[in-house]
């Protein structure tokens, strides 16, 4: 349990830092949205390198310390590490990598939701905070984990003739894999929310301690 709390806190910190860096990246180079295939600059390249380091560490950490089912989280990390490493090596499709990392905006709320449940005495206006996190969680989930995937797939369709066929297939498969994982995560999130409300009505407390959330 102590390990899970530490892991969640680390994931929260990564998602916060990554989200801030992505906001700066958009402000600094909004033209990346016009051509996510060829866009490149050192700052955005560094964001990808930073996140690969986190995902590699978290993969090892989960493999060594988790006592619950970690197949979904390991699969998620393998997909992300493979895709980001490919972008880092080829220094192309950096815009698509930033699309993928924008999902971290939702991870902020996913991890904050758990931290607030674990440490309720550390926060003031707890009910307001929980409501804010829940609303932010669903809004950012739909906008980033679903919306960005659709935006990326549309861009891949438009730019398909500029890709090498194998690279285009690899990128499409990576985006689709992330999209499928997001659907599974959304189902688990809704299921846990419904079960939590049922438990609360019965006077019981339910916390999703045994569910590792993709970062």
Contact between 214 and 185 (Cβ < 8 Å): yes
Q: Is the per-residue pLDDT at 212 higher than 70?
A: no
**Phi/psi of residue 102, nearest 5 degrees:** -65, -15
Q: Which two tokens stand for residue 186?
A: 């959304």
Contact between 140 and 109 (Cβ < 8 Å): yes
58 vs 66: CA distance, rounded Å: 11
| pLDDT on residue 194 | 82
Angle ∠(68,69,70) on CA atoms, nearest 5: 105
Q: Among 66, 53, 56, which residue's Cα sits nearest to residue 8?
A: 66
Provide the pLDDT confidence category of residue 207 given band limits of 50, 70 and 90. very low
pLDDT tens-digit map of 32-55: 888 888 888 899 999 999 999 999
Query: Could you give the C-alpha distances from 187 to 51, 63, 123, in angstroms and in order?
Result: 26, 24, 28
Predicted model pTM: 0.85
| pLDDT on residue 159 | 92
Q: Is the per-residue pLDDT at 201 higher than 80?
A: no
Residue spans of the domains in the chain: they are 1-202
159 vs 155: CA distance, rounded Å: 6
What sign results for the dihedral spanned by CA atoms 17, 55, 142, 69? negative
């Amino acid at each position: 349990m102590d390990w899970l709390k530490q892991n969640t806190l680390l994931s929260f910190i990564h998602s916060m830092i990554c989200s801030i860096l992505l906001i700066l990246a958009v402000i600094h180079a909004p033209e990346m949205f016009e051509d996510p295939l060829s866009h490149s600059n050192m700052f955005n390249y560094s964001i990808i390198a930073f996140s690969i380091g986190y995902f590699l560490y978290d993969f090892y950490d989960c493999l060594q310390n988790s006592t619950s089912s970690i197949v979904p989280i390991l699969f998620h990390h393998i997909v992300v590490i493979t895709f980001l490493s490919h972008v880092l090596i080829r220094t192309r499709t950096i815009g698509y990598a930033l699309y993928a990392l924008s999902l971290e905006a939702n991870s902020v709320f996913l991890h904050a939701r758990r931290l607030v449940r674990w440490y309720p005495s550390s926060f003031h206006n707890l009910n307001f905070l929980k409501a804010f996190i829940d609303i932010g969680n669903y809004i950012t989930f739909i906008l980033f984990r679903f919306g960005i995937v659709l935006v990326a797939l549309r861009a891949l369709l438009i730019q398909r003739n500029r890709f090498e066929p194998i690279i285009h297939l690899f990128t499409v498969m990576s985006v689709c894999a992330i999209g499928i994982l997001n659907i599974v995560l959304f189902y688990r999130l809704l299921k846990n929310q419904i079960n939590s409300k049922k438990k609360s009505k019965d006077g019981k407390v339910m916390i999703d301690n045994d569910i590792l959330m993709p970062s």
